[in-house]
Amino acid sequence: MPGFFQGTGAFLRIGLSGPFLSMLIINHFYQFVVILQQKPSKLKVMKRILIICMLCLPAATVFAQEVKQELEQRIDARLAPEKARQWLKEAFPKVSKCKWYLERSGGITSYEAKFKLKGIRYSVEFNREGLIEDVEKRVRLDKMESDQRGRLYLGFAQFDKFKAIKVQEQWTASTPLRLKQAIAGNDPKLATIRYEVEFMAMIDEKYSLWEGLFTQDGKLLSRRKIVSRPTDNLDY
């Protein structure tokens, strides 16, 4: 039973809140059943259905709580900064279809362009003013050069039960022009290359989902836990 009794008061929460909540719900629903099991007329039935909808659904919002979350919204290309669209056009002249997104994370706004080129998924991020921040392209570990893959695996080895979910090669450069030249000429020497890896691993005795930024030598620069949305609507 790993973690079952973890955390202050977990036992009390299970012991008290579960049955209490159930009793509350049972009582609430019992009233529906009593109403509904009386012989109804057509008009009364409709009235009861309305009552159910009104009582069943919004009642729970009383418990609503705010959770900080990264926000990403699809936007029309015309809403992206002109400077960003121009840079993208020059660095990737062959891209005709591209989706634009507005991202807000921790009070920072950025723009992201996503597209597919020669079967590879790209994601290009710009700051609020439209200045390029980085270019990310999806890579497969099994298709990577064996030297590079080996160095990354050395970095991954620090984690127990490591499993890579998604790997993206991240290109950055000292100036927008330099990054444009690196991309256009496919010249990695002009850019700094890092790897953004979404992975599962056992960290702090918990098998969770993480996002880490690794250097080409496999050194972990940063990591953050990915908080998944609840799956209750897929499970029940």
Partner 1 sequence: MRQVFLILLLIAPFLSQSQSRSSIGLLPSVSVTHSWADKTWRLTGQLQSMQAVWNNPGGEPLAFDYDYIRTDLTMALSYRSNPHWSFALGQMTRLSRGELVYRIFQQASFATRGQSVRWGHRFRTDQTFEPEENIITRLRYRVSAEVPLNGQDLNKGEWYLKPGIEQVVRFQNDSVGWEQRFLGAIGHYLNAGNKFEIGVDYRLDDFVEGPGRHRLWTTFSYYLNL
Handedness of CA 104, 105, 108, 113 (dihedral sign): negative
Count, residues near partner 1 per rule CB under 8 A: 61
Burial label, 34 (beta-carbon count in 10 A; 0-12, 13-18, 19+): exposed
Using alpha carbons, list the distances in angstroms from residue 118 to 101, 121, 155, 168.
Answer: 21, 9, 29, 16
Among 40, 150, 185, 188, binds partner 1 (CB under 8 A): 40
| 155 CA to centre of own chain | 23
Is 43 near partner 1 (CB under 8 A)? no
Stretch that binds partner 1, among 36-44, 84-92, 127-135, 176-184 (CB under 8 A): 36-44
The residues that bridge with 185 in the sheet, in sequence order, are none
Is 18 near partner 1 (CB under 8 A)? yes
Among 206, 217, 221, 222, binds partner 1 (CB under 8 A): 206
Is 185 near partner 1 (CB under 8 A)? no
Among 83, 114, 178, 223, binds partner 1 (CB under 8 A): 114
Residue numbers 115-174 binding partner 1 by CB under 8 A: 121
Give me the least distance between CB of 64 and partner 1, in Å please: 5
Among 200, 203, 213, 220, binds partner 1 (CB under 8 A): 200
Residue 67 tokens, joined: 């959770």
Is 70 near partner 1 (CB under 8 A)? yes
Burial label, 135 (beta-carbon count in 10 A; 0-12, 13-18, 19+): buried
Give me the least distance between CB of 111 and partner 1, in Å please: 13
